[in-house]
């Protein structure tokens, strides 16, 4: 492996593992050059590549810093740049519908590729935008990966945002589907049974362990994703 790739992955690992947290300062180029016994150009190439990927931000004179995480922003950004609804002036709140600690069932365990008896926190949450239900969030948090979730009530901070603070920088996989609303979903979203809904499923890992698995169900008549997508490798 080349030196600059080595530097790149070293720093990426420190960030993804949570060793270096958002806002932390990264050693300046000449320090890293000394550490890796290479020229400043080589360090610069690695840091520029990290900046390109949005993992760090670089500013002259002040140095390079771990950027704010982007994982949940992927979808939030897509949502935000919706062609139809401008974010400005929209009022968002949420309610916790259910919160319980239990163990992962057989079927779900298989779906998540996690052990069947793993302890989890199961959350159900309703998002309301401009007074109308906008999404049901059904979430599983792996308690061995995020033990502090056990004590958190999520009364004042949405689970997604809380996790972002707690476990910044992780990898995620998304699935987007269209599903018909079942009776319960329809009731909660104040829509008709059978109504087309947009479902977004996201599984998030940190260091190879599942952190959370979440499904957002949006009423089809009040929601869409818009944007310029690029699928990435892996």
- Interface residues with DNA (CB under 7 A) are 2-5, 26, 28-30, 37-42, 44-45, 47-48, 51, 58-64
Q: Which does 171 bind (CB under 5 to 8 A by kind): DNA, a copy of itself, none?
A: a copy of itself
Is 174 among the residues that bind a copy of itself (CB under 8 A)?
yes
Smallest distance from DNA to CB 103, Å? 46
Sole binder of a copy of itself in the list 113, 156, 183, 228 (CB under 8 A): 228
Residue closer to DNA by CB (options 26, 136) is 26
Is 220 among the residues that bind a copy of itself (CB under 8 A)?
yes
The distance in angstroms from the start CA to the end CA of the chain is 19
C-alpha angle 10-12-13 in degrees, rounded to nearest 5: 65
Is 177 among the residues that bind a copy of itself (CB under 8 A)?
yes
Residue closer to DNA by CB (options 58, 171) is 58
Taking the C-alpha atoms of residue 91 and residue 131, their distance in angstroms, rounded to an integer, is 8
Residue closer to DNA by CB (options 25, 174) is 25
Length of the chain: 234
Taking the C-alpha atoms of residue 81 and residue 65, their distance in angstroms, rounded to an integer, is 27
Dihedral in degrees, nearest 10, Cα atoms 92, 97, 101, 103:
-100
Backbone Cα Rg of the chain: 20
Q: Which does 60 bind (CB under 5 to 8 A by kind): a copy of itself, DNA, none?
A: DNA
Q: Which does 90 bind (CB under 5 to 8 A by kind): a copy of itself, DNA, none?
A: none
Residue closer to DNA by CB (options 61, 100) is 61
Is 223 among the residues that bind a copy of itself (CB under 8 A)?
yes
Are 4 and 46 in contact by the 8 Å Cβ rule? The answer is yes
* DSSP tag of 9: H
Q: Which secondary structure element, helix H or strand E, spans residue 177, and what is its range? A: strand 171-180
What is the 3 state secondary structure string of 43-67? Answer: HHHHHHHHHHCCCEEEECCCEEEEC
Is 197 among the residues that bind a copy of itself (CB under 8 A)?
yes
Are 205 and 170 in contact by the 8 Å Cβ rule? The answer is yes
Are 60 and 66 in contact by the 8 Å Cβ rule? The answer is no
Q: Which does 224 bind (CB under 5 to 8 A by kind): a copy of itself, DNA, none?
A: a copy of itself
Residues that bind a copy of itself in the complex, under the rule CB under 8 A: 52, 74-75, 77-78, 81, 83, 171-180, 194-199, 218, 220, 223-232, 234
């Amino acid at each position: 492996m080349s030196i600059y790739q080595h530097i790149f992955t070293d720093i990426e690992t420190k960030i993804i593992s949570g060793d270096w947290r958002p806002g932390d300062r990264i050693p300046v180029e000449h320090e890293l050059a000394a550490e890796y016994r290479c020229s400043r150009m080589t360090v610069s190439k690695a840091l520029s590549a990290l900046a390109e990927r949005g993992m760090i931000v670089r500013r002259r004179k002040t140095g390079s810093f771990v950027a704010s995480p982007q994982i949940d922003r992927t979808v939030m950004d897509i949502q935000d740049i919706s062609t139809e609804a401008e974010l400005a002036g929209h009022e968002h709140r949420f309610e916790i519908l259910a919160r319980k600690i239990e163990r992962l069932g057989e079927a779900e365990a298989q779906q998540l590729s996690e052990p069947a008896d793993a302890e989890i926190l199961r959350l159900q949450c309703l998002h309301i935008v401009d007074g109308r239900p906008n999404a049901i969030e059904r979430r599983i948090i792996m308690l061995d990966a995020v033990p502090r979730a056990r004590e958190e009530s999520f009364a004042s901070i949405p689970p997604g945002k809380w996790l972002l603070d707690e476990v910044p920088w992780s990898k995620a996989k998304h699935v987007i589907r269209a599903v018909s609303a079942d009776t319960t979903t329809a009731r909660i979203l104040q829509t008709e049974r059978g109504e087309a809904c947009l479902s977004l499923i996201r599984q998030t890992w940190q260091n190879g362990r599942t952190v959370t698995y979440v499904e957002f169900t949006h009423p089809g008549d009040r929601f869409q994703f818009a944007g310029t997508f690029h699928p990435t490798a892996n």
